[in-house]
Amino acid sequence: MTIHPAWLPPSTFHFLTGKRFLIDSDHPLAGTVREELLRAGCGPAAPGTSADLTFTVVPSTTLSSPSIGVGDGDGFTLTGSGVEADGPRGLIYGLFELARGGLPGRYEPAFTRRMIDHWDNVDVHPVMGQVERGYSGGSIFWKDGVFLGSSPDGLKRIRTYARLLAAAGINAVTVNNVNVHRTEARLLTDRRGEVAVIADQFRRYGIVTHLSVNFAAPVILGDLPTADPLDPRVQQWWAATSAQLVSDIADFGGYLVKADSEGQPGPFTYGRSHAEGANMLAAALTSRLVPSLGALRTPGPVVHWRAFVYDHRQDWRDRTTDRARAAYDHFAPLDGLFADNVIVQVKHGPIDFQPREPLSPVLTAMPRTRLAVELQATQEYTGQQRHVCYLAPMWSEVLAQVDGEMATVANTGDDIYWTGHPLAQANLYAAGRLAWNPDPIAVLDEWIDLTFPRAPSRLRSILHELMDTSLLTYEQYTAPLGVGFMVRPGHHYGPDVDGYEYTPWGTYHFADRDGVGVDRTSATGTAFAAQYPHTWYESPATCPDELLLFFHHVPYTHVLHSGTTVIQHIYDTHFEGATRVESMRDLWRSAAALVDPDLHARVAARLDEQVRSATEWRDQINAYFHRKSGIPDAHGRRIH
């Protein structure tokens, strides 16, 4: 089976063939740069001769250990004759910028840690499978409980993946699911050798490896009767376990934790706070038991503590409880109480990776706490890699409002195209590149240039027409005006307007015969809008149309800023969205002679499904709201 090369086809460095290079560093990452240049057909400059390309680390006090802190030395300058890097990792990024045709100048990322979070399971979960919310086949790390890195082919695929991530500017990865089950908990102990093998491959490309852990691991693994973070026995257990991990993985990045969330254990069990739970793990990672590597460990291993905490057993009759409020209510009061090596990881919206949400207020409410914004490349709520949906425009808007660190849930698997839908590769690429280039359309151009080398202008035009506004198209034919969800429960694919309406999950739209939307105002609702430092969302007069139903319950006859009523907007956008997808399918058919036949066939099949699904969304949404409101479509189109 031939694996698609994604944005690193064999021709990536064709323009370097025959050039002579000089690398003024003996760091292992400089060795990776050397391997890449030799693969491209370059050769080292002979002693005493000039080089066509020079790679050097400035200042000259280079690091000689493979262990470097995340974000250390990532920036670089292209000089016109090579790369001057701030540190060893900058050599890697400078090389790949040359492949993009980068112009001389300064390059540095806006986010220090750019992490990909895998939701891969070791064992196949009876409900979620090998990869939770995965739509690209199985895991590249494990299959049916067996570690794939034990075989040469499996190891090669992991290394190839690391190379792809580095070329996109990624510098950190978490290898396993945040929902850590019994087998996965053993990655801390008797299976940590598997993590070490993975880390060896990622390290070659400057990527630091993290591990998702279960807060109750001391209990699950049978070592202790409690996981109370203030119990000295628990503290000692985590310190000793962390010391073993760092002994095996010198540049271990740290832990990712989902606690007190959707059934996962956490400090609430023992009457402790999230700060107390996170700080216990943070202390374990800096314990005297953990081997010290001096300045090379700066800033050292960290704890990513997810803020995705809410009551998933709420009473749907109770309109005072609001899932959107939960993260802020739990975490904002703890600002300043987290240890320096704790990073609170916050989903970009207050609910759960919907096509349209406001920025989570937590991201601007904790100035004394290290934060990471969490994005989702796997298309759980945006078409599950069966729909074309380029997410970078949404992410770019989010990233423009925050700083610090970022993490993105992976959309990769053992599929030959890596991401199921070949065009979904662009989302993985953007998950790294947006930290370096905030323009989502420019990033898409980069991906097209690399993935389809020497693409004719017609193909470039087709890809942009398909992808530039594909998220807006998806939004048109799914849940309207920011209300969210309306998906089938469990697997989250396809329409089911009332699927979650009477469940305990807190994802409601409250549609009745008079109107629709969630009242989150201070005056009459849940007061979620008051969590923001401004008052834009308090009144329909100032709330953006695209978020109206997220913040307000309004009559179907309410007139939007656009001049149309809510009900007519629902009809219009759903007809328009479904029609737009049909035109996307026709457009792709015209590209048959411009791309590889197998790739064309894969995308064509996905577009057929997208047309079917968009039509189903259109008909269910329009029929539902026509029957609720009793108001006909002003244009007399057929509604079932």
Look up 498 and say whether it is catalytic: no
Buried b / exposed e along 362-373 (16+ C-beta atoms within 10 A): bbebbeebbbbb
> Among all chains, which residue has been given the structure tokens 């750019």?
114
Contact 83, 77 (CB under 8 A): yes
From 36, 120, 357, 380, active-site residue: 380
State the pairing for strand pair 105-107/76-78: antiparallel
- Residue 262 known to be catalytic: yes
Q: For residues 447 and 112, give the distance between their C-alpha atoms in angstroms, rounded to a whole number.
A: 22
Q: Which residue has the tokens 């029957």?
A: 627
Q: Quick one: which H or E segment has residue 393?
A: helix 392-399
Query: Rounded to whole angstroms, what are the CA distances from 6 to 167, 207, 437, 448?
Result: 11, 19, 19, 10
Quick one: tokens of 340? 């320096």
| Separation between Cα atoms, residue 573 and residue 579, nearest integer Å | 10
Catalytic residue, chosen from 35, 153, 262, 397, is 262
* Residue 255 three-state SS: strand
Catalytic residue among 36, 86, 352, 374: 352
Helices (H), ranges, 416-555: 425-433, 440-451, 457-467, 470-477, 548-551
One DSSP character per residue, 152-209 reads HHHHHHHHHHHHHHHHTT--EEE-S-SS--HHHHGGGTTTHHHHHHHHHHHHTTT-EE
Q: Which amino acid, one-letter code, is at 327?
A: A
Q: Are 502 and 510 in contact (CB under 8 A)?
A: no
Helix %, strand %, coil % of the chain (to 5): 40, 15, 50
Helix (H, G, I), strand (E, B) or coil at 306: strand
Q: What is the DSSP letter of 633?
A: P
132 is catalytic: no
Burial (Cβ within 10 Å: 0-12, 13-18, ≥19) of residue 455: middle
Q: Which residues are catalytic?
A: 262, 352, 380
